[in-house]
Chain A
Amino acid sequence: MIRPAKMIRQVLSSLFKKPATNLYPFNKFEMPDKFRGKIVFDPELCVGCKLCMKDCPAGAINIKKVGEKKFEAEFDLGKCVYCAQCTETCFKKALKFTGEFELASLDREKLKITFNAKPDDTASK
């Protein structure tokens, strides 16, 4: 039956419900498990085959040799498309993805991060 204002009931009942908006950034938003965010690199496991560089669609990862069996990884977070193909290509499992997605920055240089080789194992930004 065609009538005007068909949505009136639904619309009036919304007055008594909580708004559907998530007040981000005041409410922390949790991404689901296995969300593809920033990539992290474990220098202990890398053997320097550079297959990850070959498979990256955006050319965002760069593996450099800094010593005998010591490799460091440079990521350009601006170029990365967060597809996690490198994590699957690496047969040594040196690359893993995390759920971190709040990576915006006002300075393009800050988007280039480096994971240093051992012996200083802590990743520096």
Chain B
Amino acid sequence: MHKFTVPIGPQHPALKEPESFNVLLSGERIMKFSARLGYNHRGIEKACEERTYIQNVYLTERVCGICSHAHSSCFVQAVEEIAGLEIPRRANYIRTLVGELERIHSHLLWLGVAGHEVGFDTLLMYAWRDREIVMDILAKLTGNRVNYGINTIGGVRRDINTDQIKDVSKAVKKLKERTEYYVRVAKEEVTLIKRLSGVGVLLPKDVLKLGAVGPTARASGIERDTRKDDPYGAYGELDFRVITDDHNDVYGRTLVRLGELLESYKMISQILENIPEGPITVKAPRKIPAGEAVSRYEAPRGENVHYVKSNGTDKPERVKIRAPTLANIQTVAKMLEDRNLADLPIVIAAIDPCFSCTDRLTLVKDVGHGKGRKMRWEDLHSHSIQWYKARGIDFSDLNKKMEKLLK
């Protein structure tokens, strides 16, 4: 059969954000798939170096519209760790509450988008109608529907009173019965099951090899969740399960996200019952002492990593953001090997891509030489291995453990 290359993107109705994929087709079978990122690069990491910490809280919030609180909290946690600040417990609880509400709104948005990609527009309309409940609650609590601006260095900016707590409980109750309806639809609607099952299969050993995170990895049975592995905020004091599934495909990812929605409702009820009294912020200095910190946060799409390096002034020296979609995009090529073209939109949508978070650039400044130079990936790889060896850290036994897991 004749082979031809179809360009999916940068502009395509299946993609919500611009990204370029080149697909080599033979009939309807995909022979080769290659991705090219970088269309959404805005220079945020460089912009962070020229603004003060308090300005950066708002700048990192605007990395992405859907996981805005995740990026802002991750950054603020890193800065607070460098400055040695211990924020009050009430502030932690409020941050976690907004984080879980954001997870709810993101997963409901994903449900609608997945329905649209398989041609099920009714699910899109119903899921997004229910998402309005969460958006209204977030507007009441934080003052805006997206880009909440609730974080500040040293705590949160707004407090929550008893009326708002009552509104949140009512909204969560309504959303719980709607989500249980969607779980029933996902388990019983035959056309949806046919479109989502057996598509985008990713075996557990591929998950470990390619380093997938978030619901993409949890749908293959790998129990990896930053909220349990490395608790931050109020998660250490909450009681919740990590949802995994054994289907290894897009259907499993749907079930994982719906299960996480139900867990979030339980967590929010616990937060609202046990929220401690106290202040909501501590005084933070304008000049952060020199140091560096890495902080991790479980965004709705997976693990979000921020690295902040400070040098004693009021502007950071380096901010590096690694978004979860960057880890998951490698798995798409593996999932689409030898599959139909009709599966491509839903497979890309199933990793919940957020290309605004993903596009960063790495420019390494070699301090000794005085001017910047570009390093290739292999040079960077060997440079990093030497750097760690010079400090006495050896990765060879970790490599042996990985070999054993992959066997």
Q: Do A and B bind each other?
A: yes
| Residues in chain A within 8 A of chain B (CB atoms) | 1-7, 10-11, 20, 31-36, 54-57, 81-85, 88
A4 x B149 contact (CB < 8 A): no
Question: Assuming A36-B149, A83-B58, is B189 touching A57 (CB within 8 A)?
Answer: no
Residue of B nearest to A22 (CB): B132
- Chain A residues near B240: list those with CB within 8 A: none
User: Within 8 Å of chain A (Cβ to Cβ): is B210?
Assistant: no
CB distance from B64 to the nearest CB of A (A): 15
CA distance A84 to B139 in the complex (A): 14
CB contact between A3 and one of B58, B136, B152, B188 (< 8 Å): that residue: B188
The 10 A-B pairs with the shortest beta carbon distances in the complex, nearest first, are A57-B58, A6-B189, A57-B55, A36-B143, A32-B140, A6-B188, A83-B149, A4-B190, A83-B58, A20-B129
Chain A interface main SS type:
loop
- Chain B residues near A55: list those with CB within 8 A: 52, 54-55
- Chain A residues near B132: list those with CB within 8 A: 20
Q: How many A-B residue pairs have CB under 8 A?
A: 64
CB distance from A16 to the nearest CB of B (A): 16
- Chain B residues near A84: list those with CB within 8 A: 143, 149
Chain B interface main SS type:
helix
13 A-B pairs within 8 Å (CB atoms) are namely A2-B187, A2-B190, A3-B188, A4-B191, A6-B188, A7-B185, A55-B52, A81-B58, A81-B62, A83-B58, A84-B143, A84-B149, A85-B149
Q: How large is the interface on B (under 10, 10 to 19, 20 to 34, 35 or more residues)?
A: 20 to 34
- Chain A residues near B4: list those with CB within 8 A: none
B114-153 residues at the A interface, CB under 8 angstroms? 122-123, 126, 129, 132, 136, 139-140, 143-144, 147, 149, 152
- Chain A residues near B374: list those with CB within 8 A: none
B139 x A35 contact (CB < 8 A): yes
- Chain A residues near B52: list those with CB within 8 A: 54-55
Residue of A nearest to B167 (CB): A32
B148-193 residues at the A interface, CB under 8 angstroms? 149, 152, 157-158, 181, 184-185, 187-191, 193
- Chain B residues near A10: list those with CB within 8 A: 126, 181
Residue of A nearest to B184 (CB): A6
Question: Assuming A2-B190, A2-B193, A6-B184, is B54 touching A82 (CB within 8 A)?
Answer: no
CA distance A31 to B139 in the complex (A): 8
